[in-house]
Amino acid sequence: MKSAKRPIHTIADVLIYGFFIVLCLLIVIPFYNMVLYSITPYKEAVTTPLSLLPRGFSTVNYEMIFKDDRLVSAMLISVFNLVVGTAMAVGVTITMAYPLSRAIPFRRTLFYFGIFTMFFNAGIIPWYLVMRDIGMINSLFAMTVPSMLSTFNLILMRNYFLSIPDSLEESARIDGAGDFIIMVRIFVPLSLPIIATIGLFYAVWFWNDWWYPLMLIPSQKMMPLPLFLRNLVIENSIRMVDPNIGGTTDYLKTTSRGSQMAAVTVATLPILCVYPLVQKYFAKGIMLGAIKA
Amino acid sequence: MKMKTLKSMWGHKALYLILLPGLAWYVIFCYLPMFNTSSGGILLAFKEFRNNMPFSEMQWVGLKWFERLMNKPDFWIALTNTFKISFLRLIFEFPMPVVIAILLNEVRRYKPKRIFQTILTFPNFLSWVLVLGVLRDLLQVSGLLNGLRVAMGADPVNYLNNSDWLSNMLMVLLTNVWKSAGWGSIIYLASISGIDPSLYEAATIDGAGRWKCILHVTWPGIRSTAVVLLVLSCGNILNAGFDQLFNLRAALNIEHLDILDTYIYRYAFGMGKMNFGFTVAAGLFKSVVNFALLLTANKAAGWLSGETVF
């Protein structure tokens, strides 16, 4: 590393490390606290004061939430959104970004056609009326199709394509390859870091989105996980209480908080597992994609 | 159109063909809501909305809804809240990613740098529902933070439902920094990695210490990125963070946290559906002002630093 040649001041280094360690603790502690609360047995949660030390272990909260059909079906719907949505979104982003990165007539106009929507939109009512008219209300695809394309990801993708040398395209053309073959055989394989990056962005978006379902899915049966969690944690309009366990209202109240924490943990876990794996692509992907944006 | 252009387009017909799905998406999901003859699009702002009546038969009402908007005190409250929150974000949240990126660049060892970066960027990938789910347990009356307050002899405060302006603003700013500041630094780190390392060597030979290197090499290297992002944030002043504020609102803090977007949502879906013309007008007002702000910020950035986005 070239930067190692720069001078090292020990005090400054200590301060900088200290700064980041404190910041990281501020982020890690709430997650730790959440997991801890979700596995704390009822009795300890009520009787002992709050602390960051473990107070026993119990899986009752997790057993309870997975007994709830609503949560299980919400998770299945979210998995469907994630898989189908991400596949469609990445596909359309690539096929739109590639032509916009080639020297074709009107590519600038077409690009601004997309960019304009980042800064000017119709507003929710006109949008909602169109969604209603094209049959999106309570449709399984209402949670993926209307929110499918992100102009930001389109820009990242296009800029990455632009950074690939033209000579590759020219030599393929001499070998007789057409535009489509060049895109699939040459440009897509060379763009895997950015495809992984925007794939993660889309996947996280479909896993997290509660707004489109809130607008377009009034049916309780089709509620995806984020909306379910919103009703559970933010609105408190869903209670996860199994009448078979426990008796007093006090007990019900406490476990509902514990089960909330368990549900949030379950929803966070997939992101936590996938994120570090994809993170290594960010460096390459974003850097080339974003600088020119 | 020139023959040559047409010829070039025909030669690339495969490219136009694969462009179609994306283009169709933009037309259906972004442009049809703006302009269409069946439900009216943004022109609804100038009509008297009637349910089950075709758009063409609805009565034109001119600027009635805009006048009503201007005469509503709660609209002005929402508008001032939007500006207040956005400016606070520009002042306190905007510099955070810059600071994090510069300091992270000063962490020389690869491994701790990776670990810090992974932890700091992670919360950005959770939705506001999850973030507040995670932070709720700290902020509520029986939460950790209040446990600390009580231990120090102060009264517990419910941060999540509170009528104090300052406490609400702190909560809004701090939770957003918690969620997004680390991620925001990625783009600056990208710019820093583009700085020629020989500049640091030259500066060191000239006797520059660490602080001087930051000031005269790192900062000039990321200044243009900062300007671009500042312009984009200025174009977003009226947005102020719907996702966050919609999930934070509670009975006592609504007067401080009601912004334009939550205001529009409230009138559109919260109070019966007869307010369509009014809310379309509010939305149109927002979009137009937003767009004007963006163009102004772009021009201003051009004058000030020679960098523009568009």
**pLDDT tens readout for residues A39-53:** 888 777 766 666 677
Predicted pLDDT of residue A247: 42
Nearest CA in chain B to A254: B142
Residues 52-81 (A) with a CB less than 8 A from some CB of B: 52
Residues 35-54 (B) with a CB less than 8 A from some CB of A: 36, 38-42, 44
Q: What is the pLDDT of residues B256-297, one digit of tens each?
A: 999 999 999 888 887 765 678 889 999 999 999 988 988 888
**Cβ pairs A/B, distance under 8 A:** 257
Whether pLDDT at A209 is above 90: yes
As a whole number, mean pLDDT of residues B151-166 equals 86
Instruction: Say if A241 is an interface residue toward chain B (CB within 8 Å).
Output: no
Q: What is the pTM of this model?
A: 0.86
Which chain B residues are within 8 Å of A182, Cβ to Cβ?
Answer: none
As a whole number, mean pLDDT of residues A148-163 equals 90
Whether pLDDT at A293 is above 60: no
Helices of type H across chain B: 3-11, 13-26, 64-70, 73-88, 95-106, 110-121, 128-139, 144-151, 165-193, 197-205, 210-213, 219-234, 242-248, 254-257, 260-265, 276-305
Residues 242-261 (A) with a CB less than 8 A from some CB of B: 257, 260-261
Contact A27 B123 (CB under 8 A): yes
Which chain B residues are within 8 Å of A119, Cβ to Cβ?
Answer: 235, 290-291, 294
Contact A179 B284 (CB under 8 A): no
**pLDDT bracket for residue A28 (50, 70, 90):** very high
Contact B19 A96 (CB under 8 A): yes
Instruction: Choose the weakest-confidence range: A105-119, A235-249, B239-253, B256-270.
Output: A235-249
Predicted pLDDT of residue A70: 87
Q: Evaluate whether B187 touches A286 at the Cβ level (below 8 Å).
A: yes
Q: Which of B21, B119, B125 sits opposite A28 (nearest CB)?
A: B119
Whether pLDDT at A250 is above 50: no
Contact B40 A129 (CB under 8 A): yes
As a whole number, mean pLDDT of residues B153-160 equals 84
Q: What is the pLDDT of residues B105-147, one digit of tens each?
A: 988 888 888 899 989 999 998 989 999 888 887 887 777 788 7
Predicted pLDDT of residue A251: 43
The residues pairing with B47 across neighbouring beta strands, listed in sequence order, are B60
Nearest to residue B241, comparing CAs of B185, B169, B296?
Answer: B169
Predicted pLDDT of residue B274: 62
In angstroms, the CA A281 to CA A197 distance is: 6
Phi, psi (degrees; rounded to nearest 5) at A123: 100, 160
Predicted pLDDT of residue A9: 63
Which chain B residues are within 8 Å of A19, Cβ to Cβ?
Answer: 103
Predicted pLDDT of residue A178: 87
Contact A50 B190 (CB under 8 A): no
Cβ neighbours for A176, distance < 8 A, ≥ 6 positions apart: none
Cβ neighbours for A211, distance < 8 A, ≥ 6 positions apart: B243
